[in-house]
């Protein structure tokens, strides 16, 4: 499938990996594909999204908020607070006894070659793989023998359950009209 990717689609995949690294994620998700598309404001997909008021910074802020709101630590803190336990007070007391950062997680050291030497590959999540598969299907449906960034955006629009879909919906973008606009631009 990747042999059909045009340069701008390949760039989306490379930049999605970089976006995942910036978030310190161990996978490439739909949100990283969306952010990578928005890094290319002159491409078809980037241009259409920007025209509808979604740029890289806004999308990144929305994704960060959504991730923070659903973080297990935050949900655990809310559950404990419901029964009268203030996690901030607990943290202060532990750090007073054991020192600052006593409860912080240690980062796992990465092994092997650095990413620019072909190592440290970040895998795609199931949903991100589905987006790439759907981008191929979109290209075939349009009778194109290549996959561009616009096809990836069409794939993101068809995959309605990922974080990217949530950002697009929260932005007020209507998937059907966006699809029609992309297809018109590809014609």
- Who's near 120: CB < 8 A, 6+ residues apart? 110, 112, 113, 114
* Structural domains counted in the chain: 1
**Is residue 105 domain-resident?**
no
User: What is d(CA 27, CA 187) in angstroms, rounded to the nearest whole number?
Assistant: 34
**Is residue 86 domain-resident?**
no
Q: Which domain holds residue 41?
A: 2-71+120-186
Closest CA to 43 of 157, 116, 151, 140: 151
CATH of the domain at 17: 1.10.1780.10
Q: How far is CA 78 from the centre of its chain?
A: 25
Calculate Rg over the CA atoms of the chain: 20
**Is residue 176 domain-resident?**
yes
Structure tokens that stand for 127 in this block = 């949903």
**Is residue 149 domain-resident?**
yes
**Is residue 32 domain-resident?**
yes
pTM: 0.74
Per-residue model confidence as pLDDT tens for the chain (187 residues) = 677 899 999 999 999 999 999 988 889 999 999 999 999 988 999 999 999 999 999 999 999 988 876 655 555 666 777 888 876 787 788 888 888 877 765 544 445 554 444 556 889 999 999 999 999 999 999 999 999 999 999 999 999 888 898 999 888 888 888 999 999 988 8
């Amino acid at each position: 499938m990747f042999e059909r990717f045009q340069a701008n689609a390949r760039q989306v995949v490379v930049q999605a990996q970089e976006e995942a690294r910036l978030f310190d994620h161990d996978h490439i998700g739909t949100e990283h594909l969306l952010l990578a598309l928005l890094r290319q404001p002159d491409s078809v997909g980037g241009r259409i999204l920007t025209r509808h008021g979604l740029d890289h910074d806004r999308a990144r802020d929305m994704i960060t908020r959504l991730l923070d709101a659903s973080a297990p630590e935050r949900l655990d803190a809310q559950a404990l607070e419901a029964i009268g336990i203030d996690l901030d007070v607990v943290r202060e007391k532990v750090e007073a006894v054991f020192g600052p950062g006593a409860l912080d997680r240690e980062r796992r050291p990465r092994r092997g070659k650095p990413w620019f030497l072909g190592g440290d590959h970040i895998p795609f999540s199931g949903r991100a793989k589905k987006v790439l598969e759907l981008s191929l299907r979109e290209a075939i449906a349009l009778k194109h023998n290549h996959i561009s960034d616009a096809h990836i955006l069409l794939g993101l629009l068809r995959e309605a359950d990922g974080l990217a879909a949530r950002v697009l919906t929260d932005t007020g973008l209507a998937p059907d009209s966006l699809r029609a606009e992309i297809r018109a631009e590809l014609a």
